[in-house]
Amino acid sequence: MPDLHDQIRDFWDRDSHTYDDSASHAVSDPLEAAAWRAALRRALPDPGAKVLDIGAGTGALSLLAAELGYEVTALDLSEGMLSKARAKADANGVELTFVVGSAAGPPSGPFDAIMERHVIWTMPDPATALSAWRDIVVPGGRLVLFEGVWGAEAPTQKVKDAAAGVLRRVLGVEDHHHAPYPADVLAQLPLARMTSPIPLIDMVHDAGWRGLRIQRLRDVEWASMRYERWPLGWLEQRPRYALIADA
């Protein structure tokens, strides 16, 4: 039986073959890409800064940040995901540094900023990872977490989720991943079913980051919703936000 680390890595290795089929995963829609560029500029230090993109996956935000003038290192547990990122960087003439490894054991840096998108919920020990990230930024370095409220607490959201599942099957629209995330793995992830940003805010503060502030990513929400066929985008829409803090 593979351990939890291997299960998570193997899931994303398999998912790498279809991950970019989702426009929001790949940020392949020009409107959504423009929204993400704006989000990066709002949240990160000035261009030229050294940025570690944790859980970079197939490189969507790494590529956008590099285009904006940042010096980006892309870290991911999955070699399969990073192989796709390398191919895209080569095809677009974008220079990135790639590191295969765990988010809890990042490269030493130092970096001016750490960022991640929709990754921290996949970590078995996010508190330890957040502390490790603080140790590899320069004094006053920045943490940028691009996250969302993925858990469904309200009955209305549960109804919308069920309707979205039915609609996907009727329309023949593929799911965002190659398979559901394993239930036994989800049960071991503390942030997997957050229904509010509060648990993450508390964890970031406890890890020693300060000056926490949050921004709703309404432009990203709008762009991703607009791309999906109506009413699928509306049914699946979730609040997204940038949680920013300083070392």
Is residue 85, in this structure, part of any structural domain at all? yes
pLDDT at 152 over 70: no
pLDDT at 157 over 70: no
pLDDT at 234 over 80: no
Q: Are the C-beta atoms of 151 and 195 separated by less than 8 Å?
A: yes
Is residue 165, in this structure, part of any structural domain at all? no
**Structural tokens at position 143:** 């943490």
Residues 131 and 40: their CA atoms lie apart, in Å, by 22
With residue 74 as reference, give the H or E element that holds it. strand 71-76
Is residue 19, in this structure, part of any structural domain at all? yes
Residue 155 is predicted with a pLDDT of 64
Is residue 81, in this structure, part of any structural domain at all? yes
Comparing 161-165, 188-192, 201-205, which segment has the lowest mean pLDDT? 161-165
Residue 231 is predicted with a pLDDT of 74
Angle at 226 between CA 225 and CA 228, to 5 degrees: 70
Residues 57 and 25: their CA atoms lie apart, in Å, by 9
Can you give the length of the chain in residues? 247
Residue 96: which CATH number? Answer: 3.40.50.150
Comparing 16-25, 147-156, 199-208, which segment has the lowest mean pLDDT? 147-156
Domain count, the chain: 1
Rg (alpha carbons) of the chain, rounded to whole number: 17
pLDDT at 153 over 70: no
pTM of this structure: 0.91
Cite the DSSP H helix spans in 68-125: 79-92
Cβ neighbours of residue 56 under 8 Å, at least 6 residues apart?
Answer: 62, 74, 75, 76, 81, 82, 85
Is residue 157, in this structure, part of any structural domain at all? no
Residues 12 and 23: their CA atoms lie apart, in Å, by 17
Is residue 232, in this structure, part of any structural domain at all? no
Is residue 168, in this structure, part of any structural domain at all? no
**Structural tokens at position 116:** 């991640």
Is residue 177, in this structure, part of any structural domain at all? no
Residue 210's domain comprises 4-152+182-227+239-246
Residues 160 and 106: their CA atoms lie apart, in Å, by 38
In tens, the pLDDT along 65-82 reads 999 999 999 999 999 999
Token pair 């920013």 is at which residue?
A: 244
